[in-house]
Chains A and B, each alone.
Chain A
């Protein structure tokens, strides 16, 4: 995840028409990620819970593909589809029905048929939906998404109704007991598809789509066929969503109407928002984060899952409009500022965001610890006055300790970084990694762990940025006072 994010940054600037695909750094990022992730099952096979992790990663990659496809509409086209799960369902049912009813049907042909089915459905539905924008588009996609669900639910003779299609035949190699084969299969398909989507959003077509999002009327004036571009975007999103649906179907060897239910559309919407809609890889981060939270929460509290989704959505809308990746990448770039002021602003922003991450990590961990073990608020019975054995501490004392020690260290580190002490840069990196290890040691809930991981990514991203590196090497002496004075002028 980290690899592809970092390389996306370099790629966005360096990309140009004349460069061949082979010189595209993002492609290399994808290849490295592919190679590293491809051998994950072999690495973790001896771990406890290896099956769980492999299945989890399989699902996470499928959902990442779905979320990135959805974000092509939402982030790049400005079209919020509330019924994207329809194409997930159509893809799943297309492949499922073909495999189930046509005995001679080849597995791969069925898999290819899924995105084709998704694209055709998107063509038909999109023909009506793209006639209206904004609110109407949202309503229409919701309504058409619901009718797909109703058809799957009610048409017993064909789709099996709410019993779904079960026992869909799949090749033998998928059924291996470690789930590793299917994981690799999904990984390759998803990474290739996400790379294709990356090419699409950076192609002239993608740029045109962004232009339409920004100002439809102007785009129309310069001669762009707005409706046609929107329809194409809708079809591309539908095709890749259909592919994701087929992959989910194969994973479960069955398909139910729930695949097309509106709750799935909500989840993919939230994944994009959580990760950041105006970033390409944001939805991937969002998918991983949301699925980890899903695994954390539904384990013990399935009934509050929607409440949690809604609460998170409100929180994102009010506090984090750019999503997490948007938050990491956000820069205040005012060209009129001179070097020193820009550095000072950068550092001030860095320390502010570090605080958010820190508090977020502590808060998240506390919240989930309480959910998972509501009884151990205070100090557990087998504590035995062992100061260093933090695991035996209860939620509250542990969190208070984390907070007090963490605040003290953070405060000291961030004070230093404002006056550009190179030592502090390294200490801060070490601190973020250290807290990651602490959370691993404490067996923090997955979501808290992922948040701390994002904090590490953020620290590395910021402190190895060209600007910041330069600031430290020059040792520019800027204090907060200068910034305040500059702003007052």
Chain B
């Protein structure tokens, strides 16, 4: 019995946390951007994809070292994100939310084909950095050391960093104020345009970082943007759109459910999360930690 607990349940628990950390890295950026700008950015999945592909380019062709790439790739994505925000999103902040949604959706299509044109349609892969190829033994079970020492800390540090940034710094307080009342903070002398661009850049950075960190763990292919954005949507809807704590909770639930789902019913592992989301929607439409919404928005 002890064997069952350590070998199976413990392993799945930690594996679930790996999945959660990965999805949180991507989802936090989306949730942050939605909370402040009020725009649900479909193209966030594209940031994730570009982050991964930039890592590939950097590791494969330029320097060949993984660690600088892990920072440079998200920064390259930030440039992309800022250009997108200034050119496409600025003119439409005041329009209908559905219009904004359609615009970011259009950008997904454009970004997706650009990757196909630049990198080709084949699957690519990034090898794990030196020293992290093997496994590590924790409590008698073996785990891949990359997930244990890079992915999990990255997810944890992002949660912590975002928490400290939003609650302990002045800029963070301004950002939180912007989620409450945009016009008011504009009237108080905050440069809202710059703030929006900045928040969007942070969101793009997180998306790119997610892609970069996850790149060595799976194949890179055009279309990975769309696969991830649906999972991210599930997570943020589950936790509550715009709520950072909710996103973290949603990510953990998602990861554990997926991890234990594979154990029980391998074919239907992806169905569980949909069932849970349906239940949450009926019982608590605003998401687990979301604020109560009025007027149906």
Contacts and interface: CB of A to CB of B under 8 A. Distances in A.
Q: Do A and B bind each other?
A: yes
Nearest to B226: A262
Nearest to B117: A303
Contact of A143 (B106, B274, B282, B296): B274
Interface in B117-153: 117, 121
The 6 A-B residue pairs whose C-beta atoms are closest, nearest first, are: A310-B109, A313-B106, A307-B113, A310-B110, A306-B113, A306-B109
A80 B101 contact: yes
A123 to B, nearest CB: 14
Interface string B90-126: 0100000111011101111110111011000100000
A133 B297 contact: yes
A395 to B, nearest CB: 23
A138 interface: yes
B282 A313 contact: no
B88 interface: yes
Nearest to A132: B285
A150 B270 contact: yes
A248 B230 CA distance: 27
B40 interface: yes
A482 B104 CA distance: 43
B6 to A, nearest CB: 31
Interface in B206-244: 226, 230, 233-234, 237, 241
A448 to B, nearest CB: 22
A304 B116 CA distance: 9
Interface of B: 40, 88, 91, 97-99, 101-103, 105-110, 112-114, 116-117, 121, 226, 230, 233-234, 237, 241, 267, 270-271, 274, 277-278, 281-282, 285, 295-297
B297 A134 contact: yes
A139 B274 contact: no
A266 interface: yes
B55 to A, nearest CB: 23
B98 A134 contact: yes
A147 B295 CA distance: 29
A262 B233 CA distance: 15
A309 B226 CA distance: 16
18 contacts: A132-B281, A134-B297, A139-B233, A142-B230, A143-B274, A147-B274, A150-B270, A154-B267, A306-B112, A306-B113, A311-B106, A313-B105, A314-B103, A314-B106, A314-B110, A317-B99, A317-B102, A317-B106
Contacts of A352: none
Contacts of B108: 310
Contacts of B278: 128
Given A309-B109, A314-B107, A317-B103, 15 more contacts: A80-B98, A131-B281, A142-B233, A151-B271, A217-B295, A273-B102, A307-B113, A310-B107, A310-B113, A311-B110, A314-B106, A314-B110, A317-B102, A317-B106, A318-B91
Interface string A174-209: 000000000000000000000000000000000000
A469 interface: no
Interface string A55-94: 0000000000000000000000010101000000000000
Contacts of A147: 270-271, 274
Contacts of B237: 136, 139-140, 143
A155 B297 CA distance: 36
A103 interface: no
Given A128-B278, A135-B40, A139-B237, A303 B267 contact: no
Interface of A: 78, 80, 82, 128, 131-136, 138-140, 142-144, 146-147, 150-151, 154-155, 216-217, 262, 266, 269, 273, 303-307, 309-311, 313-314, 317-318, 321
Contacts of A304: 113, 117
Most B Cβ at <10 Å: residue of A136, A155, A313, A314: A136
Contacts of B117: 303-304, 307
B32 to A, nearest CB: 16
B107 A140 contact: no
A143 B233 contact: yes
B281 A138 contact: no
A266 B107 CA distance: 12
A134 B97 contact: yes
Contact of B97 (A135, A155, A303): A135
Contacts of B270: 147, 150
Contacts of B88: 314
B196 to A, nearest CB: 18
A222 to B, nearest CB: 16
B80 to A, nearest CB: 15
B102 A313 contact: yes
Nearest to B107: A310
B107 A139 contact: no
Nearest to A78: B98
Contact of A144 (B98, B109, B274): B274
Nearest to B236: A139
Contacts of B91: 318
Contact of A132 (B103, B230, B296): B296
Contacts of A80: 98, 101-102
Given A134-B97, A143-B277, A266-B109, A155 B267 contact: yes
B282 A138 contact: no
Contacts of B234: 143
Contacts of B274: 143-144, 147
A307 B110 contact: yes
Nearest to A79: B98
A78 B99 CA distance: 11
A8 B105 CA distance: 32
B295 to A, nearest CB: 7
A310 B111 CA distance: 9
B258 to A, nearest CB: 13
B137 to A, nearest CB: 34
Contacts of B107: 310, 314
Given A142-B233, A147-B270, A135 B101 contact: yes
Contacts of B101: 80, 135, 138
Nearest to B237: A139
A80 B99 CA distance: 10
Nearest to B112: A306
Contact of B98 (A128, A138, A146, A310): A138
A128 B284 CA distance: 12
Most B Cβ at <10 Å: residue of A150, A262, A304, A310: A310
A163 B91 CA distance: 45
A128 B109 contact: no
Contacts of B267: 154-155
A301 to B, nearest CB: 10
A147 B231 CA distance: 11
Nearest to A150: B270
Nearest to A321: B99
A318 B281 CA distance: 34
